[in-house]
A and B are shown apart, each in its own frame.
Chain A
Amino acid sequence: MAWRTIDRTKVSPEEMGPGLSAAVREKIQAFFPRYPTKQAALIPALHIIQDALGYISLQAMEDVAELLELHPSQVMDVVSFYSMFWTHPRGKKTIMLCRSLSCELMGGKNVRDALVEKLGIKEHETTDDGEWSFMTEECLAACEHAPCMLINEKLHKCVRVEDLNRILSDPDNDKLEMPRSDLFDAPRTAQT
C-alpha cells in the first residue's frame, strides 16, 4: 500500500514525463469492446503504457484518465496499488527476483546479495548506465525452479551465484523466443 499526494500547481513539465502517443492510445482503445465499462480497461492500458514508456509517468496518468473518462487520482490510486507498475523511469532490463520461501531455502538470499553487489544498486533503483533495474517480488509461481528471477519477461530458473555473470552478460537474457500475441508485446519496444 502506498498513498501519494501531489501538488499539481508545482509540478514541472519534466516531472510530468512523456504522454501517450497516438499508437498507444489506439492500442488501449482496442481493449474497450472487451468490457462493459471503460474503467475496466485501465490495467491493460497501464501495461501497454509501461511497455511503451518503461514506466507510468504523471502525464501518462492524466492522459489515460482522460481516455478512460476517469479522474487522474483514480488512475494514481490503481498505479500505486500494484507492484508491477513503476512510477519512475526504469533501466532497459528489470530484474525481478523471487524472495519467497522456496527460493530462499534454495539460496535466493545469496543470489540477491550477489546481484546487489554486482549491480551496485538497491531495490527499485537503476544503474547509472540505465541498463538494469532491480526489485524483488513474492513467489513467482515457479518454485520448482527455485531460486528464480525474471529479467523483463524471461524467467531464469535455478539461478546460482556462479551463473550470474553468464546470465547478466548474455544479450538475449530478456528475450522470450516463442510465438507471441501482439496484445502486449513489450518490453521489447520499450525505450526506443
Chain B
Amino acid sequence: MAFERILMKHVDVPNSTSLSVYKSDGGYEGAAKALQMKAEQVVELVKEANVRGRGGAGFPAGLKWSFLPAERDVTYLCVNADESEPPTFCNRVLMETDPHMLLEGILIAGYATRTTVAYIYMRGEFIEQFHIMQKAIDEAYEAGYLGKNILGSGYDLDCYIHRGAGAYICGEETGLIESLEGKRGWPRIKPPFPAVEGAFRKPTVVNNVETLACLPHIITRGVEWWQSLGPEGSFGPKMYCVSGPVNKPGCYEGPMGISVRDLIYADEFGGGMRDGKKVKAVLPGGFSMGVLRGDLFPKAPDGTVDPAQDYDELDARLDFDDVRRYGLLGLGTAAAVVVAEDTDIRDVLANVARFFAMESCGQCTQCREGSSWMYKMAQRIRGGAGRIADLDVLVEVTQNMGMMPGESICGLSDGAAWPIRTIVQKFRKEFEQHISAQAPDAAAEWIRRVNPAAYGLPIAQGRAEVMPGGTFYRPDSEPDTVEA
C-alpha cells in the first residue's frame, strides 16, 4: 500500500520546524488560497469535505463552525492541544515536527470563522513543544502569516499559547474554556454550547490540533482527494498511535479505517509484538473508548470455543463507525495500547480505573464517587481480595454514570464507564479465575486491614461495610489505609 504521508510528511525532514522548510513544499499556499475565498465559502468547503473532528467526538468541523451566530464582533478559536488521553501522542508529534502546519490550519479556521484571537491550549507538560510552537509563532508573525492584515487580505489574527498545568479534564472543550479564563477546569453545563457562548462569554470554536492541520491540505488538494481516503463517513488521513510491547511503538499516518491487526502487526505500523508474544487486549482509541479482545473470545457462557462464531476482535477497523460494532464508544483518538498475553488483566483494570478516579474534576456526584469507588474495587481485586459480586457492582456502577444515562456534565464519566465495563465484561472469566484462586477469607481479611473499624462486622451485609470510608488513593499505600 503506497500511502502518501500528508500530516506527517516532514517527520524525517531535518529542521522541519522552520518556516523555510515548511514553505519549500507548498506551505501556506492553502492559507493564501483560503484568504482569497469568502469566509462562507471556506466553511462550505470544509462542510462538503465532511471533516470530522479528530479530538475524540468526531463532530464535523464545518457544521460546528456554522453554529456560530451570524451577528458577532468577537470570535475566539481555542486549539485543543491538551492531549492527555492515555496513550495518545499524535498531536505532540505534529506540533514537534510541523508547527507551521498547525498555524496554517489555525489561520484557515480563523479566517473561516472570523476569529480575532486564537488560543492554543497546550498541556503544561509539553515544554519542548511549547518552545517549538512559540518559535514558529514568532516566525509566522514576522513573515506576516499572523498579526494585522495577513497576506494583504485585511484579515487580522492574533495567536497565543496558553499553557495548562496538568489536568486531563481541561481537554474537554468547556473545561478548556474555563481553564483559559483562569479558573478550575470545570466543564460547563451545555447548552449554551461554546459556539454561542464560550470563552469570555463570546462565541468560541474549539478544535483539535490534528483537525486543524488537515485544513491546508483540503484547500490545496480539494474535497475529492480528501474523500478518496478512508471509508464513507470517515474520510481523510489519520495519525495513529501504537504503544505498549510492540516492536515499533510510535505514531503512524494512514488512511482512516485501517484494522487494529494491521496497526499492531503490519511492517509499516507497529511491526508485530515483542518477543512474538500474543495480544491479550487492545485499548484502540485511548482509554475512554473501551477494550478489544486480542485472543479468541468465546461467546458461549461455559467458555467453549466455537470456531464458527468466535473470533478475536482485532479486525475492528479504526474509523468513526466500525469500532462501535465491537462495543466501543467510538474512535476516540485512534491511539492503541497493546496488552500482551502475560499481563495480568487486573493490573490493567486498576491502572485504567485509577486514571479516571484521579482525573475526575469532582463536580458530578456519580463521576466523582463512582470513579473512586471503582478504583477501590479494582485495587482490591488486584490485591487478591476481590469478590465475584465486585464484578457485578463494577458493571452496575458503570451503567449509572455518564452523559448517556443523563447524569453528568461532561463525557469523562462515559469515558470512565466504557473501558471498565468492557474490561470486566470481556475478561470476566479471567477475573473469576483469579478470584476463585484466592484464599476464602481474603476479602474479609482485606477489610480488616484497610478499615479496622469494620473489624468483626459480617461482610456480606451490604456494600457499605466493604467500602472503607474516607480513603483515597495514596500512591505508596497498597492497600488503602484509612485517613483521618
Contacts and interface: CB of A to CB of B under 8 A. Distances in A.
Interface of A: 1, 34-37, 39-44, 46-47, 68, 74, 77-78, 81-85, 96, 99-102, 104-106, 116, 122-123, 136-146, 150, 153, 155, 176, 178-181, 183-184
Interface centre among B165, B241, B340 (most CB of A within 10 A): B165
Contacts of B166: 82-84, 137
Contacts of B167: 81-83
A181 B181 CA distance: 23
Contacts of A46: 165
Contact of B92 (A74, A100, A142): A142
A74 to B, nearest CB: 8
A1 B362 contact: yes
Contact of A39 (B128, B161, B182): B182
21 contacts: A40-B180, A40-B200, A42-B183, A43-B163, A77-B183, A84-B125, A96-B125, A100-B86, A101-B87, A102-B244, A105-B245, A106-B244, A122-B475, A139-B87, A141-B88, A143-B243, A143-B244, A146-B243, A150-B127, A153-B127, A181-B130
A122 B125 CA distance: 21
Interface stretch (B149-157, B211-219, B253-261, B345-353): B345-353
Given A39-B182, A141-B88, A142-B92, A181 B138 contact: yes
Contacts of A74: 183
Contacts of B319: none
A171 B134 CA distance: 27
- Interface residue SS majority, chain B: mixed
Contacts of A178: 128, 131-132
B86 A138 contact: yes
B375 interface: no
A145 B184 CA distance: 31
Contact of A184 (B87, B130, B348): B130
Cβ-closest 6 pairs across A and B: A139-B86, A42-B182, A82-B165, A143-B243, A143-B87, A84-B166
Nearest to A74: B183
Query: Chain B: interface residue count, which band?
Result: 35 or more
Contacts of B85: 139
A44 B339 CA distance: 38
B165 A43 contact: yes
A22 to B, nearest CB: 22
B89 interface: yes
A141 B126 contact: yes
B361 interface: yes
A101 B337 contact: yes
Given A39-B183, A141-B84, 5 more contacts: A47-B163, A104-B351, A139-B84, A183-B134, A183-B161
Contact of B128 (A81, A85, A155): A155
A133 to B, nearest CB: 14
Nearest to B360: A1
A142 B83 CA distance: 10
Interface centre among B83, B244, B368 (most CB of A within 10 A): B244
A165 B360 CA distance: 36
A39 B181 contact: yes
